[in-house]
Amino acid sequence: MFGFLRGGGELAELVSKFDWQATSLGPIETWAPCLKNTVSLILQSKVPMVILWGPDGYMIYNDAYAVFAAARHPTLLGSKVLEGWPEVASFNAHVMDVVLGGGTLSFQDQELVLYRDNRPENVWMNLDYSPVLDEAGNPAGVIAIVVETTAKVAAEAWRRSERDRQSRMFEQAPGFLAMMTGPNHVFELANASYRQLAGHRELLGKTVREAFPEIEHQGFFDILDQVFATGEPFVGKALKATLQPSPDQEPEEHFIDLVYQPIRDPDSRIIGILAQGIDVTDRLRTEQALRQSEERFRALTDAMPNHVWTSRPDGQLDWFNPRVYEYSGALAGELQGEGWAKLVHPDDLHQAKEKWASAIASDALYEAEFRLRRHDGVYRWHVARAVPMHDGSGKIVQWVGTNTDIDDQRRSAEALLESERRLQLSQKAAGVGSMELDIKTGNVIGSEQLWKIWGLSDRESVHLSVLEDIVLPEDAHIRSNPETRRTGTADAHVEYRIRRPDNGQIRWLSRNIKFVLDENGTPVKMYGIMQDITERKDAEARQQMLAHELEHRIKNILSMVGAIVSQTLRVDDIDTAREALQARIRALAGAHDILNKTRWTNASILDVVRSAIAVFPSDRVSVSGPDLNITPRMAISLGLAVNELGTNAVKYGALSVDGGRVEIKWSITPDSPDAAGEFTWSWREIGGPPVARPTRRGFGTVLIDRVLGADFGGTVQTHFDEAGIRCILTAPASEFETATPENILGLN
């Protein structure tokens, strides 16, 4: 190792081994004495030092500087300073310009941003730069002493911030603080709270007696003197101090918690007093108001008939008024916490607790209904309500609740609901709808059945005009109008027709109303019931029509009976006439019996024929043909005609001799009644004696030839054959289509 490097530490070893020939400095053997001497100087120093040699500022530094360089060591050795510290290249360029020009530079706590460990960091340094002169006395390089002051700067910054923080704490302290020095107690410091308490006056530099002359005889000066003299602190609670806020205002009474603490110098001599405390005036007044409020609350709750209770914020009940104990028979303290739960009906307890827990969690109004056991074991329904009480910050401090006995109201409500349910069911069963009309607004409130009657969807209310538009125009004069509603003179009971909007049907409605009057006798409400009476109206119409039909039918029957009697009694033999009359009346009655079964709508042709031949030998009369429905007129004339033909056959025709018989047939051609065709009904006697056309026209002949054909809308042909009579009725098949109401009822 070269002699000038001996004792130079780790860096001496690195300098001796570095390839300096690659730099402008050349081999170390050729270095100028000024460079060697300077390198030897910095290597021996314990202070961080670096040489920036030549115009490029090649860096040679000692062990202390290597520590400062951190992760950049050893690559900094032999590098150009502007390349070695690129982040502060402009700063170092300035240094090189000034110092190589013969000047010096010095920086105290210079802040720089360096990348010593591959990350940016703010550092503070004391930097001293001086030129290194060559043998000719010219600057050849720069020697720099680098002392990092980051820790010192940070400490000073912390001390300053701590002083500022303490000053802010002193100033912003919630209580009042003041520092007084000397035996006269001169104000040296006073925070904002103390200045607020002092009001208008100046404090700093004044004695306490100068600043607060109004408290001369309130004892505070004596206490200060005693603390300064004895060194014993003073602590006072809720001390009264009367202070004047400003010269033109009346003195105000304050209450303060106060501490006088002596301040000592390093030699333990008392040099001042620290006054600290809190103005508790508002708190005391609040506490007093709270006590008064609590007394009023207790007095009020003691007088109330309701149960009153309070709870802690966590939901644990902690107080009950006397009504609770009187009702429950519980002993004091038994109901606190969750003891109240034993009063609640077991079926209601879960829901009551669940709602209470939900209200506690959500800070919401509590309301629940449950049954509470009375001292005699009877459970009665109560509604419990509780509200949270908050402090100034919005935090819950208490819950106040009440229990109100609603058992009677609940039973009344249940009875009312049951009554309303029965009313609704009875209205529904009777098809009756109820309504309420506000005469001023025209708004109609209706029951469910009312909207069904009017063909409207279920709703709560509708304007009266909607219902008025549904009434048939020709019945509009029947219902009420604005004038009759205003005066209350509308007819109490009316009936009119509507056309339902849901299906277009025309329906009859019956309406009964009652007016409610105000104190001036003016109608304000109209209540009513409505019923669909369409079926009743239809029944009345049918009844009226049937009455007319019955009247008409009786007249026809009497006329027919009269004609039968008149025709029958024309014979001279009374016995023969009686027998014939009985047979004809019997045939007429048989036809009527058949028609009565169908309410005179129609009759079976097969039933009519079988009824008419029932009195004749059944084994000698055959009947065949489709079972068709015929009108009442057809049934009566056909029954009488069969009776006449049968009676004649028994007396003179095929049924008067052994072996004779009768064939009765009918048919429609073609077979389908829906197609245009012809109905044929025939009576044919077989095996009887020869017959001849009668010489006179009796009842039977007239009936068959004229009445039977006319009632069927066709014609009748009677043939007197060698073997017996043939009677053939022909009529259009259309006569057997569905009859109109007039035909069904036999009207013409």
pLDDT at 558: 47
Position 587 scores a pLDDT of 59
Model confidence at 747: pLDDT above 50: no
DSSP bridge partners of 180: 187, 273
Q: Residue 623: count other Cβ atoms within 10 Å of its Cβ.
A: 16
Centroid of chain to Cα 412: 29
**Which of 148-162, 196-210, 640-654, 685-699 shows the lowest mean pLDDT across its residues?**
685-699
pLDDT, tens digit, 9 for 90 and up, residues 453-481: 999 999 999 999 999 999 999 998 988 88
Q: Which of 220-234, 519-533, 587-601 has the lowest mean pLDDT?
A: 587-601
pLDDT of the residue at 735: 66
pLDDT value of position 625: 93
Pairing of strands 621-624, 678-686: unpaired
- 509 CB-near residues (< 8 Å, 6+ apart): 453, 495, 496, 497, 498, 530, 531, 532, 533
Among the ranges given (8-12, 195-199, 512-516, 744-748), the one the predictor scored with the smallest mean pLDDT? 744-748
- In this structure, the number of other CB atoms found within 10 A of the CB of residue 99 comes to 22
- Predicted local confidence at residue 703, as pLDDT: 78
The fraction of the chain above a pLDDT of 90, given in percent, is 52
CA distance 6 to 39: 11
**Burial classification of residue 586, based on how many CB atoms lie within 10 Å of its CB (0-12 exposed, 13-18 middle, 19 or more buried):** middle
Whose CA is closest to 479, among 504, 450, 513? Answer: 513
On the 0-12 / 13-18 / 19+ scale of CB atoms within 10 A, 18 is middle
pLDDT score of 314: 92
For the chain, the distance separating the N- and C-terminal CA atoms, rounded to the nearest angstrom, is: 157
Report CA-CA distances (Å) from 498 to 210, 239, 383, 464, 529. 101, 90, 48, 14, 16
pLDDT tens track for 110-156: 999 999 888 999 999 999 999 999 989 999 999 999 999 998 998 88
Q: pLDDT confidence of 744, banded at 50, 70, 90?
A: very low
Q: Look at 81 and 332; give whichever has higher pLDDT.
A: 81
Weakest mean pLDDT among 47-56, 331-340, 390-399, 544-553: 544-553
Give the residue from 495, 508, 511 showing the smallest Cα distance to 538. 508
User: pTM for the complete prediction?
Assistant: 0.34
Alpha helices, H only, 70-149: 81-84, 89-99
Q: For the segment 593-633, what is each residue's pLDDT rounded down to a tens digit?
A: 665 655 556 788 998 898 888 888 888 999 999 989 888 88
What is the spatial distance between Cα 612 and Cα 592, in angstroms, rounded to a whole number?
Answer: 11
Rounded to 5 degrees, what angle do the CA atoms 17, 22, 23 make?
100
Residue 3's pLDDT is what? 86
Instruction: Compute the distance between CA of residue 651 and CA of residue 658 in angstroms, rounded to an integer.
Output: 13
- Which residues fall within 8 angstroms of residue 434, CB to CB, at 6 or more apart? 427, 446, 447, 449, 450, 527, 528, 529, 530
What is the C-alpha to C-alpha distance for residues 79 and 57, in angstroms, rounded to an integer? 8
- Amino acid 198: pLDDT: 86
Residue with tokens 């040489």: 51
- Pair 54, 48: CB distance under 8 Å: no
More confident call, 199 vs 718: 718
**Pick from 2-11, 240-249, 590-599, 665-674: least confident:** 590-599
Give the pLDDT of residue 472. Answer: 94
**What mean pLDDT, rounded, does the chain reach?**
85
Confidence of residue 581 (pLDDT cuts 50, 70, 90): low
pLDDT band per the 50, 70, 90 thresholds, residue 332: confident
C-alpha span between 432 and 138 (Å, rounded)? 128
Binned at pLDDT 50, 70 and 90, residue 748 comes out as: very low
Angle separating helix axes 33-44 and 9-17, nearest 10 degrees: 150
pLDDT 10s digits, 436-450: 999 999 999 999 899
Instruction: For residue 720, give the 3-state DSSP assignment.
Output: strand
Q: How far is CA 174 from CA 183, 187, 278, 406, in A?
A: 27, 19, 8, 51
Residue 567 confidence (pLDDT): 46
Domains along the chain with CATH numbers: 3-154 (3.30.450.20), 173-282 (3.30.450.20), 304-405 (3.30.450.20), 417-532 (3.30.450.20), 558-744 (3.30.565.10)
